[in-house]
């Protein structure tokens, strides 16, 4: 084969780690001339485990295979035991999700869920998988390992989407069932507890970050993605760009929050993101922010296992208790369905406090 000559278009290739070495798995229908062709490539080997040929992962071979140089496919670290067909389909699935503009977090989550599922059935050909295998997986892997219903639902989302794309299986996508929804109420802090947590922080940056999560009802990722230009102090609004579901929304900014942001900005002068890490222009680390919340909770003497998301729940509940219409709360939080917002009615104490217990009249 001439240097940098492309392989036949019918050949499918994917970069993997196999036997602790970077290799490119090449799969094609058997033809004597194609078998002879791949044997001419230096370092080409046949793998009975992968049921495919694999060649050294070099720049020249990548060019021949038409592979992107740094494409993140979230494939298994060691491909031993995975069929070449399964890996090829995973690659196409990841590329399909990206072409549909799924967020990278969703791409990663679905790919990892799917990888776990396929690994569980790695001894079974992909085309032989059926709905009974899905039921067995739910019982013998997910339930047996005490994974949550939300984890199972995530796995179901990944499987449904994958098997809509991969047609050559016995799986009926519509028959894949979901776990029964758990009715879990959101965790909420009182206004006094929120105040104590924020006052426990002396670092202006840390205090501003947690204050903004609470005062605007932000998700953690939304806070870390903010940029200085997303603050409109004249109109007293905060722009939240491309949040969950690829949606933009706005949240009201109080005068108190605006003043705090001004003090913070003068002290830190962020370049790209509103809250940056130790290196200028880089996003603040989510784990560091989680540690800030844990430290503040401990210093405030609060025994509840409060997380950053509790601040968002608390904001919504406190708005509801103050008489804010649910429709406005839905818009501020970025909920697609009012049913999601209505859950806060179950933790609001505004109406409950008006109920007189018959015990008091005994």
Let me know if 27 is a catalytic residue: no
Q: Is the pLDDT of residue 173 over 70?
A: yes
pLDDT reported for residue 70: 57
Let me know if 119 is a catalytic residue: no
**Which of these is catalytic: 312, 313, 315, 318?**
312
**Which of these is catalytic: 137, 264, 315, 344?**
344
CATH class entry, domain 77-177: mainly alpha
pLDDT reported for residue 300: 95
**Which of these is catalytic: 45, 122, 230, 309?**
309
* 284 or 29, higher pLDDT: 284
The percent of residues in the chain predicted with pLDDT above 90, rounded, is: 46
User: Which residues touch 130 (CB under 8 Å, ≥6 apart)?
Assistant: 169, 170, 171
pLDDT (average), residues 304-325: 92
pTM: 0.68
Query: Which tens digit of pLDDT belongs to each residue from 44-98?
Result: 999 887 778 889 888 888 888 877 665 666 766 666 667 777 878 888 888 889 8
The percent of residues in the chain predicted with pLDDT above 70, rounded, is: 91
pLDDT reported for residue 80: 61
Q: Can you list the pairs that 300-305 forms with residues at least 24 positions away whose Cβ atoms lie under 8 Å?
A: 300/193, 300/196, 300/197, 300/199, 300/200, 301/196, 302/189, 302/193, 302/196, 302/197, 304/187, 304/189, 304/193
pLDDT (average), residues 270-284: 92
Let me know if 313 is a catalytic residue: no
Residue 137 sits at φ, ψ, to 5 deg, of: -65, -45
The conformation of residue 230, written as its DSSP 8-state character, comes to G
Query: Which tens digit of pLDDT belongs to each residue from 204-231?
Result: 999 999 999 999 999 999 999 999 999 9
For the chain, give every residue range classified as CATH 1.10.443.10. Answer: 191-346
**Which of these is catalytic: 95, 98, 219, 230?**
219
CATH class entry, domain 191-346: mainly alpha
Let me know if 344 is a catalytic residue: yes
For the chain, give every residue range classified as CATH 1.10.150.130. Answer: 77-177
Query: Up-side HSE of residue 345: CA atoms within 13 Å toward CB?
Result: 10
Closest CA to 316 of 226, 240, 214: 214
In 100-123, which positions are buried (b, 16+ CB within 10 angstroms) versus exposed (e)? eebbeebbebbbebbbbbbeebee
**Which of these is catalytic: 45, 62, 230, 244?**
244
């Amino acid at each position: 084969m001439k240097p940098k000559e492309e392989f036949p278009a019918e050949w499918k290739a994917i970069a993997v780690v196999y036997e602790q070495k970077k290799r490119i798995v090449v799969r094609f229908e058997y033809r004597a001339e194609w078998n002879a062709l791949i044997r001419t490539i230096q370092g080409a080997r046949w793998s009975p485990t992968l049921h495919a040929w694999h060649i050294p992962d070099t720049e020249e071979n990548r060019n021949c295979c038409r592979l992107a140089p740094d494409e993140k496919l979230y494939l298994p670290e060691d491909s031993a035991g995975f069929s070449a067909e399964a890996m090829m389909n995973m690659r196409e699935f990841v590329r399909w999700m990206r072409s549909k503009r799924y967020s990278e977090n969703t791409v990663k989550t679905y790919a990892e869920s799917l990888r776990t599922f396929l690994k569980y059935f790695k001894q079974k050909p992909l085309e032989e998988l059926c709905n009974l295998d899905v039921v067995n997986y739910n019982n013998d892997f997910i339930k047996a390992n005490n994974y949550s219903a939300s984890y199972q639902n995530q796995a179901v989302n990944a499987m449904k989407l994958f098997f809509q794309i991969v047609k050559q299986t016995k799986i009926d996508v519509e028959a894949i069932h979901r776990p029964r929804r758990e009715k879990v109420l959101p965790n909420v802090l009182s206004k006094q507890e929120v105040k104590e947590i924020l006052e426990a922080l002396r670092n202006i940056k840390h205090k501003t970050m947690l204050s903004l999560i609470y005062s605007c009802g932000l998700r953690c990722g939304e806070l870390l993605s903010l940029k200085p230009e997303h603050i409109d102090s004249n109109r007293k609004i905060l722009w939240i760009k491309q949040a969950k579901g690829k949606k933009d929304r706005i949240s009201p900014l109080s005068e108190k929050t605006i003043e705090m942001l001004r003090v913070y900005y003068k002290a830190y002068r962020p370049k790209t993101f509103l809250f940056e890490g130790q290196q200028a222009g880089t996003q603040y680390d989510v784990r560091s922010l989680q540690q800030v919340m844990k430290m503040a909770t401990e210093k405030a003497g609060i025994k509840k296992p409060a997380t950053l998301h509790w601040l968002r729940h608390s904001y919504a509940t406190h708005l509801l208790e103050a008489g804010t219409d649910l429709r406005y709360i839905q818009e501020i939080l970025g909920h697609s369905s009012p049913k999601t917002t209505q859950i806060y009615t179950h933790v609001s104490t505004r109406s409950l406090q008006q109920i007189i217990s018959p015990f008091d009249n005994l």
